[in-house]
Structure 1
């Protein structure tokens, strides 16, 4: 079995994305450009839709460089299929079943492995067969076969086609996308074997945001029953996913006492806003306190053997405002799900034990990363973080949620370096009038209209993002020589903004000035910001900047 992805899942932590060479990044851009050109030359309808260029780049951007280098660019349309399957995996609610595609492909017959297929004269009596496209990620022998086919087509000799048919045989290519879980590849391999399929090649790719794209070339199934194979596999994959979900959310019959002396009764994402817990059979294990604030403590724990963070409100400092923010945060978290928003598991809403459970982000906050660990971000790395934040904020705004406290302390990293937005204690659902008032957030990152208690909308988050972007660029605290109140007065009365370093990339300078523009209507929305950042990554990767 040929494993096409040398940047394997086991090596991602040892070889993080920010260590990729500029040369490989440029190669990825070159493949992206060639695929885009081919799709437009083929008059593919999807390629003519405004914004497609950026969507296609985002597809390549989140996949490893090996995906671009191994793919058969002659089959540019396969990229659209991969893009569609990944979308189905990321947003399963929009899909009608598992993200799977099965098709017939033409591969080189193993009996011809030791012969030069274009040079053998014994072909005149071989019957012709129907030709199928080559695999999306062809091995060297299949690439040789495809090149030979092109040569023979140019020569237009039917006997050569007969020969090609003899040495090429149809097989099934199976492409599956899923949430990238431990041992997923081995589980899929076992599933193929149980179905009676003989795996000839396998190519496994993991995206930066935690999804998989696995491609298998298999034999052992009648070529005329492609649709049946797809139905059989879809049913088995669905069953596998249900088993994994049950294992992840398995019930535990009795509650357990936490290390801090109070009982954890957890609740699931189907949170009831009437203040009653909705699960009462699952338990949390509280392991250790990892942070403490004025109103809450943060613990690391496990939920059904998965690492989680447990935010526990302090009973002594509990007041009406704190409880209101707590319930507001749970209400918002229970309704959203995105790869760049911290995942919500559940909460206990019965006083005095008030706590909520989210995924554990082992990389910590971007604030600590910049100001405590003193990390310096290269331009490609900065763009990666900015794109993650923009993806999460775009999703929130599309769901009419204004964060109102966007800052580096509320941006967390997981073990793969994916950045996610968190802390929705002061977030609000945008009301229909479009007008929101009252001061909220943190002064150094706060938009002037919010500081002045003026009506504001989602563009207040865009201003905060501009300050975050400057912080990523400089590694400094905004207005570090001023108190928070002095900074707020300067922003409102003097139009104060952080000083942009002289040698900053011109596109970044433009984006900063647009995001923190005094007039909210002149600021871009996060869809525009994301499009801008994706364009910028192409330019940076193409020039090798920041390496």
Structure 2
């Protein structure tokens, strides 16, 4: 039987935008502080490792990114301990990344696979509330996630949801309307709104809201939003490109 923590507040979304850390507030991690590296994931925006921090005494996750732009944390977003600069195992050049809390329960996608279906309805509602709060936190900071999906929502020991994987994060066009070239790297196809494929599209909050709606469908139904035969080629036929 699944056991999970009850909600700590009837209004967990009551968040206010925090200030971003300045350079002298950012904890720096190097190779000497991280032991027993293990690669646990890889994507277009870098590799993810698990390692043991020799001073904190527990495992952390290290996300190697080509462009480290965001360092932020809240209750509904993976806790960020600081920034990593060093040479990961089997690499020959120095790389940068972020050091985050390691979630032993994996993602909501892992949970659904283990349950062979959607989570119990009360738990699903609580997870939905957590994800909505995390999305609101980012939007209050003027930041879009742009890859909100089941595998990018991690679970704490008490089965609380936390947003992860910020390789596609960008400033919202409503906060930074002069951004150029933001139609590149749109994220996961099935979670991307059709209007995002317009050549003149600028990312706005509704991008994440659409992805969140697809997330709702998946977590409540236990099914993917489109049938398997609805592939990428057929989806592109309906894109409003100009």
Pick the aligned partner of 2:193 from 428, 436, 447.
Answer: 447
Q: SS of the residue aligned with 2:126? A: helix
Contact 1:286/1:299 (8 A) holds in 2: no
Q: What is the correspondence of 1:367-382 to structure 2 with a 5 Å cutoff?
A: 367-371=109-113, 373-382=115-124
Contact 2:45/2:167 (8 A) holds in 1: no
CA RMSD of aligned residues (A): 3.4
Q: Separation in 2 of the partners of 1:365 and 1:488?
A: 29
CA pair 295-371 structure 1, distance change in 2 beyond 3 A: same
Q: Give the greater-gyration-radius structure (CA).
A: 1
Q: What is the correspondence of 1:390-401 to structure 2 with a 5 Å cutoff?
A: 390-401=132-143
Match of residue 232 from structure 2: 484
CA pair 299-488 structure 1, distance change in 2 beyond 3 A: same
Match of residue 300 from structure 1: 50
Q: CA deviation at 1:293?
A: 4.3
Match of residue 22 from structure 1: none
Q: CA deviation at 1:17?
A: 4.5
Q: CA deviation at 1:344?
A: 1.0
Match of residue 83 from structure 2: 347
CA pair 400-295 structure 1, distance change in 2 beyond 3 A: closer
Pick the aligned partner of 2:4 from 13, 16, 36.
Answer: 16
Q: CA deviation at 1:348?
A: 2.6
Deviations 1:239-288 (A, max 9, x none): xxxxxxxxxxxxxxxxxxxxxxxxxxxxxx7557xxx9946697112343
Q: Which ranges in structure 2 are unaligned for 5 or more consecutive residues?
A: 88-92
Deviations 1:126-181 (A, max 9, x none): xxxxxxxxxxxxxxxxxxxxxxxxxxxxxxxxxxxxxxxxxxxxxxxxxxxxxxxx
Q: SS of the residue aligned with 1:364? A: coil
Contact 1:289/1:297 (8 A) holds in 2: yes
Q: SS of the residue aligned with 2:9? A: helix
CA pair 337-297 structure 1, distance change in 2 beyond 3 A: closer
CA pair 353-281 structure 1, distance change in 2 beyond 3 A: closer
Q: CA deviation at 1:356?
A: 2.6
CA pair 278-292 structure 1, distance change in 2 beyond 3 A: closer
CA pair 342-368 structure 1, distance change in 2 beyond 3 A: same
Q: Separation in 2 of the partners of 1:373 and 1:404?
A: 27
CA pair 362-61 structure 1, distance change in 2 beyond 3 A: farther
Contact 2:29/2:85 (8 A) holds in 1: no
Q: CA deviation at 1:378?
A: 2.5
Q: What is the correspondence of 1:290-369 to structure 2 with a 5 Å cutoff?
A: 290-293=40-43, 296-303=46-53, 304-312=56-64, 323=66, 326-327=67-68, 331-332=69-70, 334=71, 336-349=72-85, 352-354=93-95, 355-369=97-111
Contact 1:271/1:346 (8 A) holds in 2: no
Pick the aligned partner of 1:459 from 193, 200, 206.
Answer: 206
Contact 2:107/2:153 (8 A) holds in 1: yes
Q: How many residues align?
A: 222
Q: Separation in 1 of the partners of 2:121 and 2:105?
A: 20
Q: Separation in 2 of the partners of 1:428 and 1:60?
A: 30
Contact 1:271/1:278 (8 A) holds in 2: no
Pick the aligned partner of 2:9 from 53, 59, 66.
Answer: 59
CA pair 472-435 structure 1, distance change in 2 beyond 3 A: farther
Higher relative contact order (CA 8 A, sep 6+): 2
Q: Separation in 1 of the partners of 2:167 and 2:75?
A: 20
Q: SS of the residue aligned with 1:444? A: helix
Q: Separation in 2 of the partners of 1:341 and 1:452?
A: 30
Q: Separation in 2 of the partners of 1:419 and 1:459?
A: 21
Deviations 1:456-489 (A, max 9, x none): 4111110110001001111112213222342344
User: Does residue 35 of structure 2 align to residue 285 of structure 1?
Assistant: yes
Contact 1:363/1:414 (8 A) holds in 2: yes
Q: Which ranges in structure 1 are unaligned for 5 or more consecutive residues?
A: 1-12, 19-56, 63-86, 95-268, 314-322, 494-547
Deviations 1:19-67 (A, max 9, x none): xxxxxxxxxxxxxxxxxxxxxxxxxxxxxxxxxxxxxx972577xxxxx
User: Does residue 174 of structure 2 align to residue 438 of structure 1?
Assistant: no
Q: Which is helix-richer, 1 or 2? A: 1
CA pair 284-471 structure 1, distance change in 2 beyond 3 A: same
User: Does residue 136 of structure 2 align to residue 386 of structure 1?
Assistant: no
CA pair 427-375 structure 1, distance change in 2 beyond 3 A: same
Q: Separation in 1 of the partners of 2:202 and 2:40?
A: 37
CA pair 374-489 structure 1, distance change in 2 beyond 3 A: farther
Q: SS of the residue aligned with 2:165? A: coil
CA pair 465-282 structure 1, distance change in 2 beyond 3 A: same
